[in-house]
Chains A and B, each alone.
Chain A
Amino acid sequence: MKQIKVLGSGCAKCVKTAAVIQAIADEHGVPVNLVKETSAEVMMNYGVMSTPAVVVDEVVVHSGSIPDRKKVESWL
């Protein structure tokens, strides 16, 4: 199962990013383990400086905006 983390300090966009990913994963019937990570320390350790950022299986794949549908589908 894919491990997906959404990094962000709890702003509206980060919440939305997580919701978008969950919705698209459900749609395709792909099981994902989605975690929202708000800890500043964790963000630092991934080297992320603009949020929301998305980490798929420990790789930072997106940073700085709500990802669009195509991009999300490519991670699943």
Chain B
Amino acid sequence: MLSIFTDLADWMAYTLFGLLPGSKLGGAVHFFIEDTTKIFFLLVLMIYFIALIRASLNIEKVRDYLAGKNRFIGYFMGSIFGAITPFCSCSSIPVFLGFTSGGIPVGITMAFLLTSPLINEVAVLLLLSLVGWEITLAYVLVGLVIGIAGGMFLDLIHAERLLQPFALKAYQSANPATVAERANTPKLTAKERHEFAKHELLDILSRVWKWVFIGVGLGAALHGYVPVEWIETNLGSGQWWSVPMAVLLGIPLYSNATGVIPVMESLITKGLPIGTTLAFCMSTVAASFPEFILLKQVMTWKLLAIILALLLFSFTVMGWSLNAVSFS
């Protein structure tokens, strides 16, 4: 079904603009047209439907489910829920506190919060349609593992000691029964859900459209003008430092998955090792300063620093391992 966008790009680049297939400019323009049209089409569909689901999904239910669970099942399920529950970053604070005051260990809550931005539905869909299912699967598995391992580690070092005092107090005096009673928040009607989804669609599109153009533009330039040999010699798996460098580069480049994935697509076809590519992508999407600053409301700087270091460390290790596996 998505080949219609390839046909459209063929027609526009080669017939309408009269560019030569196989030429640098022709390749770049083709890449740009195909990806922008495809991404906007997928975005509109996905954002609307995800917002509908989000409006119907009840985060309180997730919390109640996690509250009574054994620790190890808890990390696993927390991470899975994080992956499938779409929620916006401005909700991370109330969600964090809702979980914590429900007596859920910090590690399980963080397994949820770490996985949630890493594995988001838009990212998965774009990966699937642009770079194929193998890499998508690797991406999802790595995201889950990082969430689970990160959560376990945080409980191991008793991260709850490093919460802001009021959050720690809420955690210690948590009584699941009274919380469930209090959290009797009203549900949305079908019409409200549609309105919500429509709002979300316009809101998100108005924020990400420029990222799509920047991301695809970069991807197209790479695609057309950077020779394969250059990437292999300079950024191949032989250079151990290319992974940590990709991770560091990704932090200030805060964008959402929409902007990064076209660049990934282009880099992978140019022979950038898969581990390096995923490390860059995850660091761009998940380790973002705006969100970290939000978490300051409930955590001390020390805990924030630990979490940031933990993320960077796991992205790097993940990148190295994937590079080692795929090149052995």
Contact = CB atoms under 8 A, between A and B. Distances in A.
Query: In which size bucket is the chain A interface?
Result: 20 to 34
Interface in B163-179: 166-167, 170, 179
Nearest to B95: A49
A62 B186 contact: yes
26 contacts: A8-B90, A9-B93, A11-B90, A12-B203, A13-B90, A13-B199, A40-B297, A41-B166, A44-B170, A47-B182, A47-B184, A47-B185, A48-B94, A48-B183, A48-B185, A50-B87, A50-B91, A50-B95, A51-B94, A60-B184, A60-B186, A64-B55, A64-B185, A65-B55, A65-B196, A66-B196
A71 B195 CA distance: 13
A23 B32 CA distance: 44
Given A40-B94, A40-B298, A49-B60, A68 B192 contact: yes
B36 interface: no
A9 B195 CA distance: 22
Contacts of B298: 40
Shortest Cβ-Cβ A-B pairs, 9 listed: A47-B182, A49-B98, A11-B90, A47-B183, A44-B97, A63-B185, A65-B196, A40-B297, A49-B59
Nearest to B207: A12
A41 B203 CA distance: 27
A53 interface: yes
Interface string A23-54: 00000000000000000110110111111010
B306 interface: no
Contacts of B294: 9
B101 interface: yes
Interface in B24-68: 55, 59-60, 63
Interface of A: 8-9, 11-13, 40-41, 43-44, 46-51, 53, 60-66, 68, 71
A50 to B, nearest CB: 5
Given A9-B93, A65-B192, A47 B179 contact: yes
B59 A50 contact: yes
B93 A40 contact: yes
Contacts of B182: 46-47
A68 B199 CA distance: 12
B188 interface: yes
Interface residues of B, number: 33
A49 B195 contact: no
Contact of B186 (A47, A49, A63, A66): A63
Given A49-B183, A60-B185, A65-B188, A43 B55 contact: no
Contacts of B93: 9, 40, 43
A49 B91 contact: yes
A43 B188 CA distance: 19
Nearest to A71: B192
Contacts of B166: 41, 44
Nearest to B60: A49
B28 to A, nearest CB: 35
A29 to B, nearest CB: 26
- Residue of B55, B183, B185, B195 contacting most chain A CB atoms (<10 Å): B185
Nearest to A12: B203
B60 to A, nearest CB: 6
A47 B167 CA distance: 13
A62 B63 CA distance: 19
